[in-house]
Structure 1
């Protein structure tokens, strides 16, 4: 499902259909640091909701041994990912494909994956949709694989800053079904797989999922 939300930093675009997101540029280095420490160096990587494609280019370049498959559901973002791939993508970055990860059983056609990356999606979808995303991740991971879920989360039902509280409220004002998910709720949806949580800049978290 694609929602047209009024977000603080909507992506801009260039003449060749490449889109640019300030948040993607800011969080690229911190995310890459975590990936370098924990991600596999070989196998198949599935990036869900790859957005503008900036992360796909940077991360596939950083992991030449991973067969990097970016996905999205929005046609404009799929076009942007492809434009980035053609302009700067390394050989191991595949052409983007459509994946609506909020639909049940999406893993049946998009797994198995040795690594899954999901950045800044869960707060933009409903709880029911997030359940489908998380259930699919647990089933799409190959044995021994790892998933990385980055974004803003509630802790014990509360936002950790005034900015997060305001953003959460603005999302719910646009659609009462969406907004920040509690980190404990997310971890419960990923059981029985083991998870660990790493603090990230700007009060964000990275949830690392270890497949059994």
Structure 2
């Protein structure tokens, strides 16, 4: 049976993975974008401190990224219980020591579960979420990152964006139309608006990096 989790996985022309008997899910886009994303992360992340991933989905990104940052802890999270089951199934099978069990975090919530724990979080990572959720989720992500990150901490975003109010490719425009047809609150966001709401919360735009399939890596630093 195929399942679809809009909080993370809808990416251009991709059919979302399947539920297996052991709870693991598969998102084909992960296989295509994980190496380019890791290349950026290795360059821009702080040299120490733990890493919180918001909207981790299947858990496949966590599985691929975490060993590169060991012994720092990689902390996945997702508000969807089936996604958390998938993350945990991948984690247990992998035996990777620096991935923690997933937390139940909804980016739009006024307080996140991780704030009850004494963890040194210096990076927050969010991949393919803000275009597939209401704008309030983006605002909540920025609020949470502002609360949690220390000075110098990094917020990393990945996904498609409009720039100057215009799509950067016909495929992004078609994707945006598909999103709106499913939910009028979804849609490819204007990069300038995302930067504005981030900087209003002390998260200063550092750079954007062109990525595969007309996506961007967007990096902010807490100042």
Normalising by structure 1, report the TM-score.
Answer: 0.92
In structure 2, distance between residues paired with 1:35 and 1:203: 18
Provide the secondary structure at the position in 1 that maps to 2:37.
helix
Provide the secondary structure at the position in 2 that maps to 1:97.
coil
Cα gap change, 1:80 to 1:156, in 2 (>3 Å):
same
Higher strand share: 1
Q: Who is 1:185 aligned against?
A: 193
Shifted more, 137-146 versus 81-90: the winner is: 137-146
1:134 to 142, 146, 164: 142
Q: Who is 1:198 aligned against?
A: 209
CA-CA distance at 1:40 after TM superposition: 2.4
In structure 2, distance between residues paired with 1:89 and 1:163: 38
* 1:19 has 2:25 as partner: yes
CA-CA distance at 1:5 after TM superposition: 10
In structure 2, distance between residues paired with 1:177 and 1:28: 27
Number of equivalenced pairs: 211
CA-CA distance at 1:29 after TM superposition: 0.3
Q: Who is 1:91 aligned against?
A: 97
Q: Who is 1:161 aligned against?
A: 169
Cα gap change, 1:201 to 1:117, in 2 (>3 Å):
same
Provide the secondary structure at the position in 1 that maps to 2:139.
helix
Q: Is the contact between residue 8 and residue 55 of structure 2 (CA under 8 Å) also seen in structure 1?
A: no
Shifted more, 143-152 versus 45-54: the winner is: 143-152
1:37 to 29, 37, 43: 43
Output one character per residue of 1:83-141: Cα deviation in whole Å (capped at 9) or x when no partner. Answer: 00001141111011110111123374477621111000000111222211222112221
Where do 5+ consecutive residues of structure 1 fail to align?
Answer: none
In structure 2, distance between residues paired with 1:62 and 1:149: 18
CA-CA distance at 1:9 after TM superposition: 2.1
RMSD: 2.0
Cα gap change, 1:93 to 1:135, in 2 (>3 Å):
same
Moved over 6 A (4+): none
In structure 1, distance between residues paired with 2:210 and 2:7: 29
CA-CA distance at 1:42 after TM superposition: 2.4
Q: Who is 1:147 aligned against?
A: 155
Provide the secondary structure at the position in 1 that maps to 2:166.
coil
